[in-house]
Amino acid sequence: MKIRLFDRRRFIKESSKVAAGITILSSLPRTSAAAAPKESKIKFSVIGINHGHIYGMVDAITRGGGQLVSFYAKEPNLVADFSKKYPYARLSRSEKEVLEDKTTQLIMSSGIPVERAPLGIEVMKHGKDYLVDKPGITTLKQLEQVKKVQKETRRIYSIMYSERLENRATVKAGEMVKAGAIGEVIQTIGLGPHRMNPKSRPEWFFDKKYFGGIITDIGSHQMDQFLFFTGSTKADIVSAQVGNVHYPQYPEFEDFGDVMVKGNRGTGYLRVDWFTPDGLKTWGDGRLTVLGTDGYMELRKYIDIAGRDGGNHLILVNQKETVYVDCTNQTLPFGEQFVNDVINRTETAMTQEHCFLATELTLKAQAAAKKISFEK
């Protein structure tokens, strides 16, 4: 499949339209636009906005005390949408301009996945910290390069695992596990179904060499949660499998994958797929089960198909009772923790070791996965 990642002539032609559009936007009511923070602890920029996760990332760091000052993207349509949401952010002329801005401490990205690690290396070499959408690294070779530069520069290279860090039920579950609510954790079971929506997807979405494979991509969320809840600091892949069982028109795509992993503090199973049916009222029925020696928790993160409204549902079963916990009002500490880590050079939001281990295990599972197919 031929992928047009960037057409320079088209960009130059359309950039004038975008600039004019931004001028018009500034005169329109901004009911959906984010307000610029009045005070900030750090300043940050964005390079690459190819996935909508960037909006949640910006909002999290802004809540934590960061101020978005500038951004750069190649695609005029994405620039227009981002400018509408954050009209106070300056559109930079180039990636280089953002990298060389000495007033910022942090750069974030949700660019095309295969381009995220090379960008992160440049960010660290320019003396800035880096927060990237998952998958933050798509190959084991990239991981080696990133680890080398991170060790040399001592900058933060962090990956935004939003299914844990920005999900209120998962944050609450973490607090409860830490408090001993279910004893020692034995296993996590993470399910990450997603809706396909092929007509809305860019061409690179269907080519594995750009996103790394289904386990590398959406499976990274579940691997992060396995390490976090079990407390494992090392682990091995027991088995893994991937397949493209329903979309022959996209031969380089994967629509199903699962993994069994064994850590030094527990075991994990994860399953990811692109089979969320249109009848569901959200993009995926993401679930997490955390099994302990004295009980277990089940999280229905985005929807309760049994009928409760909204998301962020947690059910706790222990030796005394079964309890439903509505996590709607749970605070999300990641943004503030990460901003403070940038300032204080600490690791309260996520340790560098955890970030790299979750990535390494995910990439190893993807590399070792057996390809499955079914008879028709």
- The amino acid sitting at 51 is H
Residue 13 domain-assigned (yes or no): yes
- The amino acid sitting at 137 is I
Residue 352 domain-assigned (yes or no): no
Q: Chain centroid to CA 170: how far?
A: 14
Same domain, 195 and 326: yes
Per-residue HEC secondary structure of 93-140 comes to CCHHHHHCCCCCCEEEEECCHHHHHHHHHHHHHCCCEEEEECCCCCCH
Domain end call among 103, 130, 160: 160
Residue 249 domain-assigned (yes or no): yes
pLDDT of residue 12: 41
CATH code of the domain containing 104:
3.40.50.720
Of 42, 49, 37, 123, nearest to 91 (Cα)?
A: 49
pLDDT of residue 38: 64
Cβ pair 266, 185 in contact under 8 A: yes
Same domain, 129 and 251: no
Contacts (Cβ under 8 Å, ≥6 apart) of 268: 187, 188, 189, 190, 222, 223, 226, 230, 235, 259, 260, 261, 262
CATH code of the domain containing 321:
3.30.360.10
E-only strand ranges, the chain: 42-49, 66-72, 90-91, 106-110, 129-133, 157-160, 185-193, 235-243, 256-263, 267-273, 287-292, 295-300, 313-318, 322-326, 370-372
| Rounded Cα–Cα distance for residues 221 and 215 (Å) | 9
Q: What is the dihedral of CA 34, 40, 42, 46, to 10 degrees?
A: 10
pLDDT of residue 40: 87
Domain end call among 130, 160, 190: 160
Cis peptide preceding 87, ω within 30 of 0: no
Same domain, 201 and 125: no
Under DSSP, the state recorded for 207 is -
pLDDT of residue 315: 98
The pairs formed by 57-60 with CB atoms below 8 angstroms and a separation of 24 or more are 57/108, 57/110, 57/131, 57/133, 57/160, 57/162, 58/34, 58/86, 58/108, 59/34, 59/335, 60/160, 60/165, 60/166, 60/332, 60/334, 60/335, 60/338
Same domain, 21 and 108: yes
**What does 71-89 look like in DSSP terms, one character per residue?**
EE-S-HHHHHHHHHH-TTS
pLDDT of residue 15: 44
Residue 245 domain-assigned (yes or no): yes
Same domain, 88 and 236: no
Residue 99 domain-assigned (yes or no): yes
Task: Write out the residue range of the structural domain in which residue 221 sits.
Answer: 164-334+362-372
| Rounded Cα–Cα distance for residues 234 and 63 (Å) | 33
Same domain, 107 and 199: no
| Rounded Cα–Cα distance for residues 369 and 258 (Å) | 9
| Rounded Cα–Cα distance for residues 273 and 256 (Å) | 4
| Rounded Cα–Cα distance for residues 47 and 74 (Å) | 9
Same domain, 269 and 129: no
Q: What is the dihedral of CA 63, 64, 69, 71, to 10 degrees?
A: -80
Domain end call among 110, 139, 160: 160
Would you tell me how many other CB atoms lie within 10 Å of the CB of residue 200?
8
| Rounded Cα–Cα distance for residues 186 and 91 (Å) | 48
Per-residue pLDDT 10s for the chain (376 aa) are: 434 343 434 434 444 444 443 333 333 333 357 766 667 899 999 999 999 999 999 999 999 999 999 999 999 999 999 999 999 999 999 999 999 999 999 999 999 999 999 999 999 999 999 999 999 999 999 999 999 999 999 999 999 999 999 999 999 999 999 999 999 999 999 999 999 999 999 999 999 999 999 999 999 999 999 999 999 999 999 999 999 999 999 999 999 999 999 999 999 999 999 999 999 999 999 999 999 999 999 999 999 999 899 999 999 999 999 999 999 999 999 999 999 999 999 999 999 999 999 999 999 999 999 999 998 7
Burial (CB count <10 Å: 0-12, 13-18, 19+), residue 168:
buried
Classify 221 as helix, strand or coil: helix
Same domain, 124 and 264: no
pLDDT of residue 34: 74
Same domain, 106 and 168: no
Same domain, 142 and 172: no
Residue 30 domain-assigned (yes or no): yes
Residue 134 domain-assigned (yes or no): yes
Residue 58 domain-assigned (yes or no): yes
Structural domain count, the chain: 2
Same domain, 59 and 96: yes
Same domain, 25 and 113: yes
Backbone CA torsion sign across 208, 278, 314, 189: negative
